[in-house]
Amino acid sequence: MSRAQNHEFQEWWNKQRQTNHDLLLSDESSHLLAVDIHSPGPDLTVGKDRSRSARQLSWVYLLKFQQFAASLSSVTSSFLVLLRTANRRVTSPDSPADSSSSRLYRVIKAFLIVVLLLLCFELVAYFKGWHFSPPSVRSAELTELLYANWLHVRVNYLAPPLQSFANLCIVLFLIQSVDRIALLLGCFWIKFRRVKPKAVMEYPTTSSSNQDEEGNSTEDVNVEDYPMVLLQIPMCNEREVYHQSIAAVCIQDWPKERMLVQVLDDSDDIEVQQLIKAEVSKWQQRGVPILYRHRLIRTGYKAGNLKSAMSCDYVKNYEFVAIFDADFQPGPEFLKKTVPYFKGNDDLGLVQTRWSFVNKDENLLTRLQNINLSFHFEVEQQVNGVFINFFGFNGTAGVWRIKALEECGGWLERTTVEDMDVAVRAHLCGWKFIYLNDVKCLCELPESYGAYKKQQHRWHSGPMQLFRVCFFDILRSKVSLTKKANLIFLFFLLRKLILPFYSFTLFCIILPLTMFLPEAQLPAWVVCYVPGIMSVLNILPAPRSFPFIVPYLLFENTMSVTKFNAMISGLFQFGSSYEWIVTKKLGRSSETDLIAFERESEPLVQTTGLQRSASESGLDELTKLETSKKTGKRRRNRLYRKELVIAFVLLTASARSLLSAQGIHFYFLLFQGITFLVVGLDLIGEQVS
């Protein structure tokens, strides 16, 4: 007997199947508990899906290809623009200080071609294993025969003279290092014994003098105790800084009837001339004895400017002359801190003060300059001033006895270092110098590499010009043999000629060559250890700069190219050696110092009863400064050819040293090459568009 059919269970089962089927269709992403039942016939939709995916894939690849082509076109056009820009900036007309250096540039470029060919040759030899088993000269294969002959020429003819030249440079390097150590020991002795020049008298300062409620001094000042002082400010197109230097000199705490300010303007810009005249007129209205002088015939650069000013008839009434460049800001008590040293020292011709920099922390370039100049003033100038009473005049922030200038012949236009020239001649005439390390004069460092490079070119070509013209004068002079030896061997040869010579040849020429001529070697202590120790010693006068010791070492080697080129051009009288280019200033301290000068001049104006022009104020000066800045030309980064070519030379040599597994040499060449590359691309210093 058959069981009756259960219709309720059948209905429930059909409902459950329908529900599961709807869920499967609504949620394609869910595959749990799903059963795929295929019909035995062919499924035509599968072919359609596959054909659609192929078309989509082809469209995707086509789109990607178009994007790649567009990117490639963009990169190519950008690269071409970069090449055109680089070529335009490299081949742009340089200043005379750079254009005449094409001789050195051609030599360096030929050197780069040689080392590139040698690197290719050494790469072929390396991959063939010839470094481990050199081929014989009897080999039948042409490449093996060439490499065997190259080894023979390298060992017997090229390496020995290179090694001899390297040994000579090493000896010069060690002599110069000993000189630096001796200077540092002398500086330590001065600090330990607290040796410093002493003046036989002191002038009362405004801050220490008694004043009444109206600001007038209650002390009787005998103006006859104050010698007549001439203050000179030579300048040429100094739009950014002329006002701050004039203001700093005009507020000197010195009897106005015993001083005269000469603004010696060599500007060829009419607008700048008018601005300087207006500034001079403002201070004349305040009662300051100040004159404006402009030469119609601008010859001799700064030396001609100073020579013209000293030819005035009224100069004979003055006993001393203080000189300040346009970016220098002496303190109000500058004369009271320097002039007393002449009292009782009739053979004293010069008092030089130290430079202090308002923008030493502006960028990496100014920080590195501060290291160099701190050593120069703290060590070189101070030691030479204490032990031999002679050093090179820095051209500014110093006070001269006019009699000493006249006796040695005055300012001459024969070199671009007129300050060093007059100092050497005064020293040969028997005059003594004093350096005051405690008296500082604010000034500005060049913030762009281009300005710094031009300054260094003048500073290193001028001494060689001077050495050529005064060598026989030194031999014929009546000074002692010790002073003659100091001038010739230490002052000129060792510190002005040998230093840039071995720095460039040893680290930019000989070291890369030893990578391709391994039979000639430079020891690791010459490449790394001794330069590192000397960098530490050079940075001691500026202890806050210790974090920059490695960039300082690399940058000094980079600057050796400019210094070597300047030394050669000055020694052999190339055209660039007599070119004077004014160092570009930015007036970094102008906005703050103008107001400070106004405040400092208030008590001086009240004390002396000077009439103050109510229409002139610091705000007017600030407005004028901002206007001048906006009208200035926009500067662009440049590409420096010599630095770039040497960068590729050093990087090529580092690749060759990598094949020989020379650790210290490889790292030094690599980082030095990168430094040259950074400098050559003008990526150090002031960043501009």
Q: Catalytic site residues?
A: 266, 419
Cα end-to-end distance, the chain, whole Å: 105
Dist CA 59 CA 218 (whole Å): 97
10, 112, 53, 73: which is closest to 641 by C-alpha? 112
222, 140, 216, 244: which is closest to 609 by C-alpha? 216
Residue type, 376: H
Dist CA 222 CA 220 (whole Å): 6
Residue 152 CB partners (closer than 8 Å, separation 6+): 137
Assess contact for 391 and 398: CB atoms under 8 A.
no
Assess contact for 318 and 230: CB atoms under 8 A.
yes
Quickly list DSSP for 149-216: HHHHHIIIIIHHHHHHHHHHHHHHHHHHHHHHHHHHHHHHHHHHHT-----S--PPPTTTS-B-TTS-
Dist CA 404 CA 194 (whole Å): 29
511, 436, 417: which is closest to 198 by C-alpha? 436
Question: What are the residues facing 434 on neighbouring strands?
Answer: 351
Residue 532 CB partners (closer than 8 Å, separation 6+): 553
CA dihedral 475, 478, 484, 488 (to 10 degrees): -40
588, 595, 591, 603: which is closest to 332 by C-alpha? 603
Instruction: Kindly report the length of the chain.
Output: 689
641, 644, 489, 497: which is closest to 564 by C-alpha? 497
Dist CA 263 CA 75 (whole Å): 55
Residue 36 CB partners (closer than 8 Å, separation 6+): none
